[in-house]
Structure 1
Amino acid sequence: MRLTVLLPLCCVLAVPAHAQHVAGVSGIHFNQGAPMAAPVNGYNAASFASISRSPDVGRAQKLIADGDYAEADALLARLIGQTSNRQVRFLKGVAKLGMGDAVAARRYFEKSLYSNRSGYPGAMSGLALAEIRLGNRDAAEDILQKLRYQQEKCRSDCDRAKPLDQAIAVVEKALT
């Protein structure tokens, strides 16, 4: 059940490679100098498939898609106290990264990282982006290697293939 819940989020939040190419976006790559004032390129309200039945999670997704990271952060802070849902922690990491707080983003991505024995590709790519923002290129490259290892084991026939491809593309682009 968890996989069916997390997989669509991985696909949606890892930013499609096409959107990266067309818009020149590197996933959830943020301006290094200041918090984001505009929406994260590649995201819009339709990009977020509401995984949880909670209207608050859907609202937080829309706020992030619209670039209103501070309001999403406040809403997600309240939700984190009510649930152990990894999706909420992942979204909190995206909001923190959008606000320019890479240290907090790293913490939330780490908390949303694992489902079963494999790392969640969306959280892994978010963690790599946070590490890059913090100046830890080696840590980001290690995460990229882990994503590539998962991709190699998965090949193209598993349900994680597309999210892994997207996560790898996001991290590779951010590292260049």
Structure 2
Amino acid sequence: MNTPETPAQQPAQQPAQDAAQQPELDPAIRERLKLDPQGLLAAVIQQHDTGEVLMLGWMDPEALRRTLTTGRVTFWSRSRQAYWRKGDTSGHRQYVRSVALDCDGDALLVRVEQIGAACHTGTRTCFDADPLPAVVGDPQEIPADPAAPAADRQPPKEDRP
């Protein structure tokens, strides 16, 4: 089993060659991030070719830097307070295809090539449990082509809290 790496276990000073291989997160990217009170961003993990949502994880700026520079998804474990990479123990790896920051800067969409199960329960996705009972919207209220611009539609209202 892999031992999770915590910030305290990282060497205080890295050799010059390691520093070149492990740069800090680009300041222009860091500036766009809106972290929660724990310093984290939600990271939605999606299969790149099917659009299937696989899981939700958490990243701090360092986990994001590792994800952007290594080609493998790195998360911050809120329970263990340590960095971890999907697949280091199970072999069910996630290879990065693209990373996008949402319009508010507080969530990431990480598109991956998933090898094996994404969920710790051994299933392909963490979202394959029975659906919750939800009221389904009236299909008659949905325009035939919701993406098409319509002159008579009202501009969308901001629905954020």
Greater Rg over alpha carbons, structure: 2
Common fold by TM > 0.5: no
Higher relative contact order (CA 8 A, sep 6+): 1
TM, length-normalised to structure 1: 0.23
More helix by share: 1
Query: Which structure dedicates a bigger proportion of its chain to strand?
Result: 2
